[in-house]
Amino acid sequence: MNTGADTVLVTVAQIVEGFGLSAGRVRAWIAAGMLKPIRREGRGRSGQMLFCRGEVGSLVYGLCPVCGGGFKRSTLKQRHCSRLCRDRERRAREKGAKP
Ligand SMILES: [Zn+2]
């Protein structure tokens, strides 16, 4: 899936529905500046923010550096598909082995 080329604009509600995230998490990403609106429609509280769907996808979906598999992040810090892969990488690093 090439999410980088996906330039469809989506609202917060569409992100919540389309990616299966909680509205709170999406808002936290926006507040943290990790997700930036491409465009705003309307003003004030009723204003709607529009985001690039491909950008959301690259936040939500990661590629595991150990096994190369795609996964859905449960937190933004998550870099591996599973604890197993995370441990594998850590062990390799501790041994000083080159990946
Ligand atoms: Zn993995």
Query: Which pLDDT tens digit goes with each residue over 72-97?
Result: 988 888 999 999 999 999 999 998 75
pTM listed for this prediction? 0.74
DSSP structural state of residue 80: S
Question: CA 99 to CA 96: how far, in whole Å?
Answer: 9
Chain centroid to CA 21: how far? 10
Cα 12 to middle of ligand 1, angstroms: 29
Question: CA 78 to CA 94: how far, in whole Å?
Answer: 19
The answer to whether 13 touches 60, Cβ cutoff 8 Å, is: no
Cα 58 to middle of ligand 1, angstroms: 17
Mean per-residue pLDDT over the chain, rounded: 89
List the domains of the chain with CATH numbers: 1-59 (1.10.1660.10), 64-99 (no CATH)
Long-range contacts of 74-78 (CB under 8 A, 24+ apart): 76/29, 76/34
